[in-house]
Structure 1
Amino acid sequence: MKLSNSFSGALRTFAYFMASGTQSTLQGVDYLWLYGEEPSAIEQVFAIYANVMELDEQGNVVNAKYAEKRATDYLRSYCDSSFKVEPEYEDWEVALHAPPPLKDRNVG
């Protein structure tokens, strides 16, 4: 099973705006330096984004903007200690799931 085109497009778009420094939910936040200095903060953003993302029965994304906001609120609070995330994150939102194996399994 492959990820849906809808999810692929949402992820690609989110990654582009995050990497280009033009993510609308982070206006006024200087965060690009984190990519080279503190990549775990960026890792957490993408984990939250993926954990919060919801798809319908056809694989279409139904909450892309909400997933973006939840993810980028983490980064805003990381860069600005006076910013409080509301509502606070639940454990499942910030979970860092295990990475894939170092080698792909034989698919054939």
Structure 2
Amino acid sequence: MKKLSNSFSGALRLFSYWIANGTVGHPLLDSIDYSCIFHEPSALEQAYAIFANVIEMDENGIVLNAKYAEKRAAQHIRRYVDSTYIVEPPFEDWEVKLY
């Protein structure tokens, strides 16, 4: 049975830690209180979906772009708490798809 790689598990764990302690997306979310996403499950779900959709691994399961995946998820969070924030580049459909 195939399992998630240690590299991916570590990236997901670290992303979760940063979200939970308010430090995800440095420097994009510095000084921004995004705790409201913990009261809106779909907003948090979307952040995790973006992270999971964007993350890339090589053939050995080594994560290649954890910081970029985190940045894209942080852009979603920033837009959620600040409607004037413009996501650049705009999200593509595959990035925000919920599976």
Q: Distance in 2 between matches of 1:61 and 1:74?
A: 21
Q: 1:20 corresponds to which residue?
A: 21
Which one has the largest radius of gyration?
A: 1
> Aligned runs of 1:1-108 on 2, under 5 Å?
1-23=2-24, 24=26, 25-35=28-38, 37-97=39-99
* RMSD across aligned positions (CA): 0.9
Q: Report the identity percentage.
A: 59
Kindly state the Cα deviation for residue 31 of structure 1 after the two structures are TM-superposed.
0.9
Structure 2 residues without counterparts, runs of 5 or longer: none
TM-score normalized by the length of structure 2: 0.93
Q: For each residue in 1:79-99, what CA deviation from the matched residue of structure 2 results, as whole angstroms up to 9, or x when unmatched?
A: 1111100111111000000xx
Kindly state the Cα deviation for residue 72 of structure 1 after the two structures are TM-superposed.
0.7
Q: For each residue in 1:26-78, what CA deviation from the matched residue of structure 2 results, as whole angstroms up to 9, or x when unmatched?
A: 2122111321x211101000000000000011100000010000111011011
Kindly state the Cα deviation for residue 19 of structure 1 after the two structures are TM-superposed.
0.6
Aligned residues: 96
Structure number with the bigger relative contact order (C-alpha 8 A, sep ≥ 6) is 2
TM-score normalized by the length of structure 1: 0.85
- Quick one: which amino acid aligns to residue 16 of structure 2? A
Structure 1 residues without counterparts, runs of 5 or longer: 98-108
Q: Which runs of 4+ in 1 moved over 6 A?
A: none
